[in-house]
């Protein structure tokens, strides 16, 4: 199959919608990461997503809608909290888990009786959903286990020849996947941190339980609420080791161990500390949004050559830094050292 490259002209968006309606796979731009989209109501089309990504069948997909008014079409029992969150954060990087309606096939939800729904903050993609007349089921548009894709070039690298088209909407603004909150239990539960920080959710929800999976490692056989969380994720070929602690101490730790084949993934402010240690900056520590926007691109860059080990610096703090920390820890397989110990 030849993968078509589409732009965001109305004509190309119509073409993308047509391909979706016909059961094809189309990579779509969103503010978080690129999605690998198919008609979310067509089990055979959704099946192709799992094949193209090499994605385990028990890992559900997020259903993308163009407007909150579509919620009742795909979810049952929508609590007030869901409407409040939609009002405050949609379109935006927030996925809500709600009881699934009969219209949605089991393939989309990986057999769960709940569905993750989101309205993305990207005009082109919302227009494709509207034109297609169906919700788009989409996970991130990367080969399963690899860092997510935040440019059309990343998607082409992983999906060339495997999907019908890629809509190039430029680089993703947020750069990490959506925040996922489960509204099906007695208390709202944060399943995955993302573009919307836990503090902002708490402002709307009052209380919020933070799932263990957000910060800690999950055993392979564990029953988890967001099944994607148990898999090794976002991982370049090289081994990733997170070095925590103050800048100077971390640099001393790394410099004492640095060998040929190693690389450093750090903040722009720390580049001078790693001269001669093959450093790549993924953003500025003083601006966490630049870290989330740059993380996956930097991990992909380091995935290309002959780097065998990456010493990585990870931000502290709340907001979107929680998501950056979560993704980096997973890419490191929770391999973390403290430079001062
Ligand atoms: P991705 O962004 O590629 O990781 O794919 C979507 C992620 O959303 C999955 O890995 C799941 O962790 C999560 N998800 C989707 N639907 C549900 C659901 N019904 N319940 C819990 N988590 C979900
Ligand atoms: Mg993913």
Check if 62 has its Cβ closer than 6 Å to any atom of ligand 1: yes
Q: What is the mean pLDDT of residues 242-268?
A: 97
CB 46, CB 59: distance < 8 Å: no
Give CATH for domain 239-338. Answer: 3.40.50.11030
Q: Which of 264, 45, 282 is nearest to 150 (CA)?
A: 282
Q: What is the mean pLDDT of residues 270-285?
A: 97
Residue with tokens 């939800």: 109
Q: What is the mean pLDDT of residues 312-329?
A: 95
Is 234 a residue whose pLDDT tops 90? no
Q: Enumerate long-range contacts of 336-339, CB under 8 Å, 24 or more apart.
A: 336/241, 336/242, 336/244, 337/241, 337/242, 337/243, 337/244, 337/253, 338/244, 338/245, 339/243, 339/244, 339/245, 339/246, 339/249, 339/250, 339/252, 339/253
Give CATH for domain 4-214. Answer: 3.90.870.10
Is 290 a residue whose pLDDT tops 80? yes
Highest mean pLDDT among 123-137, 228-242, 298-312: 123-137
pLDDT (tens digit per residue) in 108-163: 999 999 999 999 999 999 999 999 999 999 999 999 989 999 999 999 999 999 99
CA-to-CA distance for 163 and 153, rounded, in angstroms?
14
If one residue of 59, 63, 136, 225 were mutated to test the ligand 1 pocket, choosing by the most ligand atoms within 8 A of its CB, it would be 59
Check if 135 has its Cβ closer than 6 Å to any atom of ligand 1: no
Is 218 a residue whose pLDDT tops 70? no
Residue 336 has what pLDDT? 93
Is 202 a residue whose pLDDT tops 70? yes
Check if 149 has its Cβ closer than 6 Å to any atom of ligand 1: no
Domain spans, the chain? 4-214, 239-338
Q: What is the mean pLDDT of residues 83-93?
A: 98
Please report which confidence band the pLDDT of residue 228 belongs to, taking 50, 70 and 90 as the band edges. Answer: low
Order of strands across the sheet that contains 239-244: 279-281, 262-266, 309-312, 239-244, 336-338
Using CA positions, which residue lies closest to atom 21 of ligand 1?
226
Fold matches, 4-214 and 239-338: no
Using CA positions, which residue lies closest to atom 19 of ligand 1?
115
Residue 90 has what pLDDT? 98
């Amino acid at each position: 199959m030849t993968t078509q490259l589409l732009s965001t002209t109305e004509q190309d968006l119509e073409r993308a919608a047509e391909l979706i309606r016909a059961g094809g796979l189309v990579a779509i731009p969103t503010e978080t990461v690129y999605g690998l989209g198919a008609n979310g109501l067509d089990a055979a089309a959704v099946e192709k997503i799992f094949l193209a990504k090499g994605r385990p069948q028990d890992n559900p997909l997020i259903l993308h809608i163009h407007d909150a008014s579509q919620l009742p079409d795909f979810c049952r029992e929508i609590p007030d909290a869901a409407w409040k969150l939609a009002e405050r954060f949609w379109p935006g990087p927030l996925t809500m888990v709600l009881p699934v309606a009969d219209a949605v096939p089991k393939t989309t939800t990986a057999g769960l009786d709940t569905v993750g729904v989101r309205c993305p903050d990207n005009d082109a993609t919302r227009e494709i959903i509207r034109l297609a007349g169906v919700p788009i089921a989409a996970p991130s548009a990367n080969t399963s286990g690899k860092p997510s894709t935040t440019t059309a070039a990343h998607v082409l690298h992983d999906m060339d020849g495997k999907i019908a088209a890629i809509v190039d909407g430029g680089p993703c603004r947020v750069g990490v996947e959506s925040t996922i909150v489960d509204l099906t239990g007695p208390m709202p539960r944060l399943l995955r941190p993302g573009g919307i920080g836990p503090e902002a959710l708490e402002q709307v929800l009052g209380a919020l339980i933070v799932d263990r999976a957000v910060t800690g490692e999950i055993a392979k056989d564990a029953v988890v609420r967001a099944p994607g969380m148990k898999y090794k994720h976002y991982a370049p070929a090289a081994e990733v080791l997170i070095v925590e602690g103050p800048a100077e101490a971390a640099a001393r730790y790394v410099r004492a161990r640095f060998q040929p084949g190693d690389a450093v993934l750090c903040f722009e402010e720390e580049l001078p500390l790693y001269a001669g240690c093959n450093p790549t900056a993924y953003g500025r520590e003083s601006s966490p949004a630049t870290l989330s926007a740059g993380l996956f691109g930097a991990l992909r860059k380091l995935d290309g050559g002959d780097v065998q080990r990456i010493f990585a610096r990870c931000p502290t703090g709340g907001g979107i830094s929680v998501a950056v920390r979560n993704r980096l820890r997973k890419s490191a397989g929770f391999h973390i050292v403290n430079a001062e110990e």
